[in-house]
């Protein structure tokens, strides 16, 4: 595809301009990306008056720049001068007209509606995936923050074992658990062939009475002997007995 770009410029001479005796046109035009830029260089000789036997030299540099329509591919385009003509106006103005030829232009292919829809779907999918990743990340952070808050409110305590027959009390046992165990000891009687140890369990989110009984292999009746199971809440301490026979 060819495209003609017209250029016109009036050049004012400081002296009288009677006749152009010789004239030539050169250029430094180049195409970069979609922009044509450079200079037109017009040179020659002229007479100041009709009766003058001498001629005066001249040279004119005219800058040129134009941006091509973005609907064209320009990687194979070429630039040339298609036409050049001039005219003397009012005895001191040289009016020049230059036609720039841009050849081998190619129109970019139009995007079909179906292709545009597919591109839109692809963008939507990418955005959707990003949103899902962000949601998973937020849910994970919320879960970690919730677990951290629970741990701060109810710090994990070590499982403490106490031998009732020896009546030893562990120094790290907190007052609440110690009181429970003392009460259990005072209200219970065992023969000399049996001894009992206790696990202190902190109730966490997701724990159930059934899961605790299954984990420690105890019955609900055994737990009721040492705990009030009617209103359990997160962070409650549950005494879990383990009964053994002496060898």
At 29, is the pLDDT very low, low, confident or very high (cuts 50, 70, 90)?
Answer: very high
| In a domain? residue 151 | no
Last residue of a domain, one of 107, 131, 150: 107
- Percentage of the residues of the chain whose pLDDT score is greater than 90: 37
Give the pLDDT confidence score for residue 52 in this predicted structure: 85
How many CB atoms are located within 10 Å of the residue 36 CB? 19
- Residue 182, domain extent: 175-245
14 and 90 together in one domain = yes
Last residue of a domain, one of 76, 107, 138: 107
pLDDT digits (tens, 9 = 90+) for 48-78: 998 888 999 999 999 999 998 888 888 888 9
| In a domain? residue 162 | no
| In a domain? residue 181 | yes
Residues in contact with 33: Cβ distance below 8 Å, sequence separation at least 6, in sequence order: 74
Tokens representing 114? 């179906």
Please give the C-alpha separations between residue 170 and each of 13, 40, 64, 159, 242, in angstroms, as whole numbers.
112, 101, 95, 11, 17
Give the pLDDT confidence score for residue 143 in this predicted structure: 80
User: Model's pTM, two decimal places?
Assistant: 0.45
| In a domain? residue 43 | yes
Last residue of a domain, one of 54, 79, 107: 107
Cα dihedral sign for 132, 134, 140, 142? Answer: negative
| In a domain? residue 47 | yes
Sheet strands (E) in the chain: 3-12, 19-27, 30-32, 35-47, 56-67, 72-73, 78-89, 93-103, 106-107, 194-202, 237-245
Please give the C-alpha separations between residue 31 and each of 52, 61, 109, 173, 178, in angstroms, as whole numbers.
43, 19, 21, 86, 90
Tokens representing 31? 């195409």
Phi and psi angles of residue 174, each rounded to the nearest 5 degrees, phi first: -70, 165
Mean pLDDT estimate for the chain: 79
| In a domain? residue 161 | no
**Alpha helix (H) residue ranges in the chain:** 113-153, 175-187, 209-216, 220-224
179 and 95 together in one domain = no
pLDDT digits (tens, 9 = 90+) for 155-208: 444 344 433 333 344 444 456 555 655 555 555 444 555 556 788 889 898 889
101 and 17 together in one domain = yes
| In a domain? residue 155 | no
| In a domain? residue 130 | no
Burial of 99 (0-12, 13-18, 19+ CB in 10 A): middle
CATH number of residue 183's parent domain: 3.10.350.10
pLDDT digits (tens, 9 = 90+) for 119-154: 666 666 666 667 777 777 888 888 888 777 655 555
How many CB atoms are located within 10 Å of the residue 42 CB? 22
């Amino acid at each position: 595809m060819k495209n003609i770009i017209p250029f016109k410029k009036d050049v004012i001479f400081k002296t009288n301009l009677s006749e152009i005796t010789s004239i030539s046109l050169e250029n430094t035009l180049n195409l970069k990306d979609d922009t044509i830029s450079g200079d037109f260089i017009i040179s020659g000789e002229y007479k100041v008056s009709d009766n003058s036997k001498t001629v005066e030299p001249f040279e004119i540099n005219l800058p040129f720049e134009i941006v091509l329509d973005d609907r064209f591919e320009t990687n194979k385009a070429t630039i040339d001068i298609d036409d050049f003509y001039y005219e003397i106006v009012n005895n001191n103005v040289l009016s020049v007209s230059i036609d720039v030829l841009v050849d081998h232009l190619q129109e970019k292919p139009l995007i079909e509606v179906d292709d545009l829809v597919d591109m839109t779907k692809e963008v939507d999918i990418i955005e959707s995936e990003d949103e899902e990743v962000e949601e998973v990340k937020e849910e994970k952070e919320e879960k970690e923050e919730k677990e951290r808050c629970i741990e701060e409110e109810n710090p994990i305590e070590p499982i403490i074992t106490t031998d009732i027959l020896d009546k030893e009390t562990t120094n790290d046992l907190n007052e609440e658990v110690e009181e429970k165990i003392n009460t259990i000891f005072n209200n219970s009687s065992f023969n000399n062939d049996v001894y009992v140890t206790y696990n202190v369990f902190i109730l966490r989110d997701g724990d159930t009475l059934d899961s605790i009984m299954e984990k420690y292999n105890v019955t609900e009746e055994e737990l009721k002997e040492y705990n009030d199971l009617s209103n359990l809440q997160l962070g409650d301490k549950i005494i879990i007995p383990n009964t053994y026979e002496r060898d």
